[in-house]
Amino acid sequence: MSDKNNPYKDESNTGHVWDDNLRELTNKPPGWWTLGFHASWIFVIAYTVLYPSWPMISGHTTGLLGWTSIKEYKQDLKEIEEIRAPYELKIAKMSAEEILADSDLSNYTVRSAKVLFGDFCSACHGGNGAGNLGFPVLADDDWLYGGDIDAIQTSITDGRSGAMPAFASTLSTQQLQDVSQHVVALGQGGQYEAGAAVFMEAGCFACHGMDATGIQAMGSANLADAIYRFAPGTLESVSYTISHGINDAGDDKTRDATMPSFSERLTETDIKKLAVFVHKLGGGQ
C-alpha cells in the first residue's frame, strides 16, 4: 500500500500494510538484543584471533594462543602418566600374587585393568565378566582351569582350547538320550540311573570325574553345578554337546571353545593387570 493510503502515518512503520491492519514497523530492537548482537560478532573476531579458525591454502590460522586439541590431550595424558608412573613401576617388578597382597596397588590395578578388559575381553566374556552365550562367566567362582591367580594368568598368556569328543557315532540314540537326561539331572542335584550307567560305560568319568564335578587340570566342566556355557541346561542343548563334542575336528557341528593367547598382543604387565582384575571378578581377595 502506498504511503498516501497508509492509515497509520503517525506511527513508525514502513507503509507496508496488509489486510488493512497488519503492518511492518520500524521500531529499534530492544537494548538487550543490540548488546547481544554486538557481543556476538566481537566474540567471533576475538575467538578467530586467539584460536585456530580459518582454513588456508596449505593449512590454517593457528591463533595467538597456539592451542590445539592434540596439545591439550597430550598435556592431560602426561599428567595422568606422571601419577600412574610409581604404580606402573611397582607392577612391572612384582608378580600378580604380590600385587594382590598389596591392597593399595591391587585397587589401582583393578581400576587400570577395566579399560584393558573392555578392549580385549568383554566381546566374549561380556561387560564386567557376566559372560556371553558360548563363553565362560568370569564373575563367579566356577572355573574350568582353576581360579587361583597363577591359573588365570596362564589362561590369559597361553590361551585355552577345550576338547571333548563327539559321541554321536559311538552311542546309540537311546544312550545319548539317557546320558543327556543324567547330565540335566546332575545339575538339579539328582541323577538318572540309565544315564549314569552310560556315563560310566562311555568313559565320561575319565574327564569329568567319578562325581562329575570336573577335573581342572584338564579343563573339563563340572556337570553337577547347573552352570552351562553354551545354553541353558535344556535336554536339547546338553544332548547337542554330547553328540557333537567340543572342538572335535571330525564333526562339523562341534561346539567351538577356544580362547586365544594374548602373549603377543599384551605386555607382561598388562597380562598381570588382567589376571588380578579377573581374579577379583571371581570373588578372589
| Other beta carbons less than 10 A from residue 99's beta carbon | 22
The number of residues in the chain equals: 285
Is there a common fold for 70-159+261-281 and 173-259?
A: yes
The Cβ-side half-sphere exposure at 163, using a 13 Å CA radius, reads 9
Query: What pLDDT was estimated at residue 127?
Result: 85
Q: Where are the domains of the chain?
A: 3-50, 70-159+261-281, 173-259
240-279 confidence digits (pLDDT tens): 999 999 999 999 999 999 999 999 999 999 999 999 999 9
- Is a pLDDT exceeding 50 seen at residue 1? no
- Quickly list DSSP for 209-252: -TTSS--TTTT---TTS---SSSSS-HHHHHHHHHH-BS-TT-T
Q: Does the structural domain 173-259 have CATH classification 1.10.357.10?
A: no
8-54 confidence digits (pLDDT tens): 667 777 777 777 778 888 888 899 999 999 999 999 999 999 999 99
Query: What pLDDT was estimated at residue 285?
Result: 53
Q: Is 47 left (phi over 0), alpha (psi -120 to 50) or beta?
A: alpha
pTM over 0.85: no
pLDDT band at 232 (very low <50, low <70, confident <90, very high): confident
H or E stretch including 100?
helix 96-101
Q: Which fold would CATH assign to domain 70-159+261-281? A: Cytochrome Bc1 Complex; Chain D, domain 2 (1.10.760)
Query: What pLDDT was estimated at residue 4?
Result: 55
Q: What is the mean pLDDT of the chain?
A: 92
- Is a pLDDT exceeding 70 seen at residue 2? no
173-188 confidence digits (pLDDT tens): 999 999 999 999 999 9
Residue 234 grid coordinates: 535344556
